[in-house]
Amino acid sequence: MGAVDSEELGADRCYKCDAALEGAEMCPQCGRKQYRVCYCGEKIPVAARVCPYCGADWSHSHRVRHKSRSSKLDYKKLARSAGLGALATLVAAGLTNIVITSIARRSLSSHQVMPSSFLARVELALQSLGQTTIGAMQRAIDMGASLVWVFIVILIGAGLGAVTYLARSGFIRRRRSRSTHKRRTRAE
């Protein structure tokens, strides 16, 4: 290949967004590089299908797109994100406070007043949850031991079904016992 004019290589428009380049190596509009280094070491336009210096075929090359990272910080977007984060946290804290207070009310008698301290309300809510759990367990015991046995049988059946599936699908491999292996080698 012969010598190549620099004007022949110079791209005047961006290959991606068609913005005017005016001799720039990066597009002022989209920030994409307009040149790449060929195998021969020469700089060629990204859109070139064949290197004018060595004739290398670039027609099937994959162009990797990278996000252009701007060194400028968008303060409006930063402030909006911070505001949304603060709002979401405030809403979550409010909802948590409402739930804990409503659970804590169950522990109070009619003449008691709800404490203003959040930690005291959490303590009352935990007491209420403990009483509810104990009550549910008492009802289960009152229903009879037969339901417990039904639950145990269901769990055993589910476990056996899961093991059978895993064995059939190859996740669990069965080992042959040594005695079977010895009998086979003696028979041979």
List pLDDT tens digits, range 118-127.
Answer: 899 999 999 9
pLDDT band with cut points at 50, 70 and 90 for residue 69: low
Contact predicate 88/44, CB 8 Å = no
What pLDDT is stored for residue 31 in this prediction? Answer: 83
The two tokens of residue 68 are 């252009």
Whether the predicted pLDDT of 186 surpasses 80 = no
Domain span at 5 = 1-69
Residues 176, 133 within the same domain: no
Residues 65, 10 within the same domain: yes
d(CA 101, CA 78): 34
Residues 18, 33 within the same domain: yes
Residues 1, 49 within the same domain: yes
Number of domains, the chain? 3
Residues 3, 59 within the same domain: yes
Burial environment of residue 19 by CB neighbours within 10 A (0 to 12, 13 to 18, 19 or more): middle
Whether the predicted pLDDT of 2 surpasses 50 = no
Residues 86, 117 within the same domain: yes
Of 50, 69, 88, which residue sits at a domain end? 69
Residue 45, beta-bridge partner list:
35
Residues 47, 100 within the same domain: no
pLDDT tens per residue, range 10-47: 567 887 788 888 878 888 888 888 888 888 888 888 87
pTM: 0.38
Output 47 or 102, whichever has higher pLDDT: 102
Residues 5, 58 within the same domain: yes
- Neighbouring C-beta atoms of residue 45, cutoff 10 Å: 17
**Mean per-residue pLDDT, 70-75:** 73
Residues 114, 165 within the same domain: no
Residues 84, 41 within the same domain: no
